[in-house]
Amino acid sequence: MFFAFADGLLILSGILLGNLIRFGGSGTAIFYIENLAIKIVVIVSVIQIAFYYFDLYEFKNLRDKIKMGIYLTEALGISSIFLAVIYYAIPSLSIWRGIFLLSLTFIFILTFGLRIIYPWVLSNKFFKERVLIIGAGELASKIRKEIGENGQGAFEIVGFVDEDRERIGERIGSDDYRGLQPDLFHLQRR
């Protein structure tokens, strides 16, 4: 949800920046465009739908920056084609040519920047959510793996708690700790 909202704002910012550059600092020219709100909603909606279908809202795709850049370029290309078809069918929805190309460039830079900065912010210790997994079986191992693959560094596993005394000391991962329920207070402090 956050990404969709942030992308909407960044796409809008890209359109406004494209207008500002196109008209040499006279950024007020865009406000004289007829049906401006409808045109912006159409552009933002088409681009966000393309982002969705290219899995740009999947956190696992944020790891590989080159792949993410390719997906972002493809999504903007496809959305440009769809917008061209919409502009051909309903010419009153089109914005000026120079604004559109500049806007696409700024939209790429802004949305790519968000996808670079977001994982970095989440990996900050201040934002990490500490997780204690109750159980130490196969499901706990799957949960640990899922957090590692899709958690974007936003979670810190503090340990595993199991009811079986014989399993204490076993490791699920390299830094994992297993304890009993009385150990919960100790694990909370870790």
Give the pLDDT score at 30: 59
Q: CA angle at residue 55 from 50 to 58, to 5 degrees?
A: 135
- H or E element at residue 130: strand 129-134
Give the pLDDT score at 112: 93
Give the pLDDT score at 132: 77
Q: What is the largest CA-CA distance in the chain?
A: 74
Those residues of the chain that have pLDDT short of 50 are none
Alpha carbon distance 56, 10 (integer Å): 14
Give the pLDDT score at 86: 92
Give the pLDDT score at 31: 62
Domain boundaries, the chain: 2-122, 125-189
Give 137-156 pLDDT, tens digit per residue: 778 778 888 877 776 667 77
The CATH number given to 125-189 is: 3.40.50.720
Give 66-80 pLDDT, tens digit per residue: 888 999 999 999 999
Give the pLDDT score at 110: 94
Instruction: List phi, psi (to 5°) of 185.
Output: -65, -40
pTM for the structure as a whole? 0.68
